[in-house]
Chain A
Amino acid sequence: MANLIIQIGIPVFLIILGLFVGKWIEKKHLRSLDVKEQELKDVLICNLRRLPAYLKAGECFLVIGSVVIATDYFKVFAAGLRNLFGGEIKTYRSLMRRARREAIVRMLQQAKERGAYSVWNIRFETATIQGKRRPGGVEVLAYGTAVKVS
């Protein structure tokens, strides 16, 4: 009996912990992202390879931003439920969006530090980091060319 309680109790506890703590961490992260994005609003980003005719290029350098964000037990549980009925997995969507925004922010910070106010030809890479029967995480890498334009 005690064994059964442990077997069911621990996952349920972890899911509830994930629901509340995970949500709190996500909210905190989104707030900090909003602030950082506001600061970096003056940096132009696009994935074009060439500058249009009306812009002149100055100094160029590579900028890279990457981040690994973990899933929690609640997100995995919610995704598992979704797998039964089909539809969009909102918990994972917000996870990916957060990761991508953070990667972009880190990339832009590098560009701004060196005085470039535009990043061109940006590309994304993602990788999954997965533990055995445990929630894993996702890595998002954003890279591009920072250009001082005039």
Chain B
Amino acid sequence: MIVVNTEFIPGKKISQIKGLVQGNTVRAKHIGRDITASLKNIVGGELKGYTELLVESRRESLVRMIAQAEELGANAVINIRFATSSITAGAAELYVYGTAVVVEDEQYAP
């Protein structure tokens, strides 16, 4: 599975468009992380717990998107976009979407 955020894959030709695929997740971190994060807010600096949380969640949504693409019989997802939205104070949604396509190697004239 090729996953890119460009509209074309160099050296490949789109032979069929399967449609939009998407993956999302809403995650919360346990209260211990919230407490350390609020302590960090006093002095500033990176909130490592939250960084980790967002990285993990984004990966999860990517996996869900790829699973959808595989179900459609695509071999690449192009033009993917990430979106983040906050639902409430404690929860953020990580959302990724792209276009599932079938690509094949470009034929060059000899």
Cα–Cα distance between A119 and B20 once the two chains are bound (Å): 10
Question: Which of B20, B28, B81, B97 meets A87, CB within 8 Å?
Answer: B28
CA–CA, A122 to B83, complex, Å? 13
B interface SS class: strand
Q: A residues 103-142 with Cβ under 8 Å of B?
A: 104, 122-124, 126-128, 130, 136, 138
Determine which of A52, A80, A127 lies in contact with B17 in the assembled complex, contact meaning CB atoms within 8 Å: A52
Q: Give the size range of B's interface with the partner.
A: 20 to 34
**How far does the alpha carbon of A24 sit from the alpha carbon of B107 in the complex, in Å?**
54
The answer to whether B26 touches A100, judged by C-beta atoms less than 8 angstroms apart, is: no
What is the size category of the interface that chain A forms with chain B?
35 or more
Say yes or no: A76-B95 contact (C-beta < 8 A), given A46-B19, A93-B24, A93-B25. no
Residues of A within 8 A of B28 (CB): 79, 82-83, 86-89
Q: Are A46 and B17 in contact (CB under 8 A)?
A: yes
**Closest residue of chain A to B90, judged by CB?**
A83
- In the bound complex, CA of A127 to CA of B85 (Å): 7
Instruction: Verify if A92 is at the interface (C-beta below 8 Å from B).
Output: yes
Contact between A92 and B91, CB atoms less than 8 A apart: yes
The reply to whether B24 and A47 form a contact with Cβ atoms under 8 Å apart is: no
Once the chains bind, are A89 and B99 in contact (CB under 8 Å)?
no
Is A68 in contact with chain B by the CB < 8 A criterion?
no
Alpha-carbon separation in the docked complex, A82 to B91 (Å): 10
* Residues in chain A within 8 A of chain B (CB atoms): 44-50, 52, 71, 76, 79-80, 82-90, 92-93, 95-97, 100, 104, 122-124, 126-128, 130, 136, 138
Interchain residue pairs with CB less than 8 A apart (29) = A45-B19, A46-B20, A47-B98, A48-B99, A49-B7, A49-B79, A50-B7, A79-B28, A83-B28, A84-B31, A85-B31, A86-B28, A87-B27, A88-B25, A88-B60, A89-B27, A92-B87, A93-B24, A95-B87, A96-B93, A96-B95, A100-B24, A104-B20, A127-B85, A128-B85, A128-B86, A128-B87, A130-B88, A136-B88
Interface, chain B (partner A; CB < 8 A): 7, 14, 17, 19-20, 22, 24-31, 33-34, 60, 78-79, 81, 83, 85-88, 90-91, 93, 95, 97-99
State the 10 A-B residue pairs at the shortest beta-carbon distance, nearest first.
A86-B30, A46-B99, A126-B85, A92-B26, A89-B26, A83-B90, A82-B28, A52-B14, A45-B20, A83-B28
